[in-house]
Amino acid sequence: MNTVGIAYIMERKETIIDGNKITYYECIDVVCGFYYDFKTEGQKFLPLSKNQGNLITKNNTNKIQVAGFQTLNELARKNNNTYDFEKFMDDYKENVGYYYFYDPSDTYKFIRDPELIDKIKSSNKKYDMSILNEQSNISQKYSAIKKTIVAQDEPIMKILTTLFKNQTVIHSDFDLDLIAKLKENILICGPTGTGKTEILKRISKLYKIPIVIEDATALSETGYRGREVENMLQDLYLAADKDIELAQKGILVIDEFDKLAEKKQDGQTHVSRIGVQRSLLKILDGSLCYFDEKKFDTSKLTIVLLGAFDGIIKDNDYSQLTPEDFNEYGIMRELIGRISKMIPMNALSKDDIKKILVESDFSPLNTYKKLFEYMHLDFHYNNEFIDYVAERAIQLNTGARSLKTIVDDCMSSAMFKIFAGEYSEISLVAPKSDDDIPYILSKKLK
């Protein structure tokens, strides 16, 4: 063991920046010494400079990062036959205090973005799994979601408020009976294309609590072909990195819930649909479920049901719906009785759709704008084109869901010419007839 090396001691840290959890490492020290079992899981480092003789071991908080190596003879020759470990470290000390990201290839990447560095330095809010109940954070999340979901301000506020309340309750030291009384299961209903699923997707990205969005149409009653309710809990367990305690406090979103309705006008009972409804009663009540020899307690689980419930009303005003309406639609009375919060979405007007096209972060026009900026192309559209797309969406009766399809259709024949490098500018225009081309391309100047 005649070779010494440099070890950076990297401390793992977590914080909240712009509403997102950031995991990074700060270089807190540099030491010189010998490595022991460095390639194994329990890598160790024996310092010869600071903390001499005390083994430093890799753990969940700190990591050891390899730097330079020298033999003891080389080190002595450079310093008048003395082992000057401090001098050996001089070239490496400048990295102490800097921030790094860590990737699975076991390497550290220096954080160079000055704006991000300033935010890390100024942030003193540590991340924890109960971040959802910090009231100071709710307004920030509300604003972030509204950048994507337009014309649904009140539903977004209600959804966030309920989730904040639930997370406050389940992270408390209340007994399970009180938690069960305070925790709310949510039903979000409204027309297709109003943003029900997208709101939950936005929340799943903004909050680092485990959340999964499942499709009810894939479920079947136990014993029948298809996914069982326990499979959804298993997905949540995997989303929580196999931390069962964390998964039990997560959020289970069941999309297309209305497709489980047992329509009375069908004249016969669909055993799979009614069976799945009965299976859901179990997890809504708060009970023990089992998968892969794991025990999952749903007592603290937040369950969110999403559905369009086509035909449940005639005027698209979901705000006046009652439990009896859902029962008539085909949802078991026992199941709907376990939903304590019903949140209706706003039906979208033509003006709402025009606003989505112009303002939403995920508007197809704004995503194309980013693409063309990357390609150094000028991109324009006028009010007539916005009006044309909104009118087509209204005719299709699919809300904002069809906007991407409509805009892609308008752009399809233009994209080949753009990618061929013939043009430097595109303007979208409303076609006067079905045969008109909805764009104008301008060639590059020679």
CATH number at residue 410: 1.10.8.60
Residues 6+ apart with CB under 8 A from 223: none
User: Average pLDDT in the 268-293 region?
Assistant: 82
336, 326 contact by CB (below 8 A): yes
Residues 220 and 337 in one domain: yes
One domain, residues 65 and 140: no
pLDDT score, position 220: 67
H-helix or E-strand containing 33?
Answer: strand 20-36
Residue 374 neighbours by CB under 8 Å, 6+ apart:
none
Do 160 and 306 fall into the same domain? yes
Report how far residue 164's alpha carbon sits from residue 179's, in angstroms, rounded to the nearest whole number: 14
82 lies in which domain range?
3-122
Closest CA to 255 of 202, 188, 333: 188
Token pair 């980013």 is found at 370
Contacts of 329-333 with CB under 8 Å at 24 or more apart are 329/258, 329/261, 329/263, 330/261, 330/262, 330/263, 330/264, 330/273, 331/260, 331/261, 331/262, 331/277, 332/262, 332/274, 332/277, 332/278, 332/281
User: Which tokens sit at 88?
Assistant: 């050996």
Give the end of a domain, one of 87, 104, 122: 122
Whether 235 and 136 map to the same domain: the answer is yes
pLDDT tier at 1, thresholds 50, 70, 90:
low
Note whether 7 and 114 are same-domain residues. Answer: yes
Q: Looking at the predicted structure, is the pLDDT value of residue 394 above 90? A: yes
Is 429 a residue whose pLDDT tops 90? Answer: yes
Q: 60, 12 in Cβ contact below 8 A?
A: yes
- Which one has a higher pLDDT value, 33 or 57? 33
How many helical (H) and strand (E) elements, i.e. helices and strands, does the chain have? 16, 17
The answer to pTM > 0.85 is no
Please determine, for residue 214, whether its predicted confidence score (pLDDT) is greater than 60: yes
Q: Which amino acid is at 286?
A: G
Residues with Cβ within 8 Å of residue 87, at least 6 apart in sequence = 78, 79
pLDDT tens string 408-422: 999 998 998 888 887
The whole-number average pLDDT for the span 67-91 is: 78
Chain centroid to Cα 54, Å, comes to: 42
Give the strand pairing for 44-47 and 20-36.
antiparallel
Whether 142 and 257 map to the same domain: the answer is: yes
Q: What is the CATH number of the domain that holds 303?
A: 3.40.50.300
Q: For residue 352, what pLDDT is reported?
A: 94
pLDDT (0 to 100) of residue 307: 95
- Together in a domain, 339 and 355: no
User: How far is the first Cα of the chain from the last one, in angstroms, to the nearest whole number?
Assistant: 68
What number of CA atoms fall less than 13 Å from residue 1's CA on the CB side? 9
Task: Count up the domains in the chain and report the number.
Answer: 3
Pairwise CA distance, residues 187 & 361, whole Å = 26
- Residue 217 and residue 325 in one domain: yes
Q: How confident is the model at residue 226 (pLDDT cuts 50, 70, 90)?
A: low
Phi/psi for 318 (5° steps) reads: -85, -5
- Give residue 274's pLDDT: 86
Residue 249 near residue 170 (C-beta atoms within 8 A): yes
